[in-house]
Amino acid sequence: MNKPSRIFAALFVIAELSVLPAFACETELSESAVREAYFLGQRHDEKTGAFLAQYTKYLPKPKSGPQISEVRLLTPLAQIVQVSQLAAPGYNAQQARLDYQKRGDSILLTIHIEFTPTYNLMQTEKSANRVRADQFWQDFRFRLKQKGEWIEPRSTRGEPEYKYAVGGGSKVLL
């Protein structure tokens, strides 16, 4: 699948993610909603995992081009659950409320783009080789739409994650 098709596929997944339970998309969450989200994150069990799993979609590997392997869209409520789940001991409901107030009602979109055999670290362009920069993710455009209006991001950032695999006696960068 070519790059524009992969981008539209990701947007389709984002549209699917927008069909989350209505309570997860409230704005200005109530104190009780923040408290319940905090305690759900503190459970560290299958209920927490199932709740957060609703916000992530995994896409299959394409025949060619880059792989958009994971798209995660976290609402303010889901962010509270995730922060609570990952927090160090001593984190409490009051701190969750303060963190939510500081963060505000933002949506966090995370997209994992992976190299494939047809879209890898070394790319041949005509007859010259070039190494993809750590900022290759900037070649991709993702947009969110709400009630017919495109949402401009407050900020975007990317960072490479390098994983090495050993196969056939050689080291391959994935």
Give, rounded to a whole angstrom, the gap between the first and last alpha carbons of the chain.
19
Please state whether the predicted TM-score (pTM) of the whole model is above 0.75.
Answer: no
- Are 47 and 81 in contact by the 8 Å Cβ rule? The answer is no
Burial-class residue 155 by CB neighbours within 10 Å (0-12, 13-18, 19+): exposed
Q: CA 107 to CA 148: how far, in whole Å?
A: 17
Please give the DSSP secondary-structure letter assigned to residue 72.
Answer: E
Residue 5 has pLDDT above 90, yes or no: no
- Summarised one tens digit per residue, pLDDT across range 150-166 is 988 888 888 877 666 55
63 bridge partner residues: none
Nearest CA to 14 out of 141, 127, 138, 120 is that of 141
Q: Is the pLDDT of residue 18 over 50?
A: no
Of residues 2 and 58, the one with the higher pLDDT is: 58
- Which domain, by its residues, includes 34? 3-173
pLDDT digits (tens, 9 = 90+) for 21-42: 434 444 689 999 999 999 999 9
Domain count, the chain: 1
CB-count burial class (<10 Å; 0-12, 13-18, 19+) for 5: exposed
Phi, psi of 20 (to 5 degrees): -85, 165
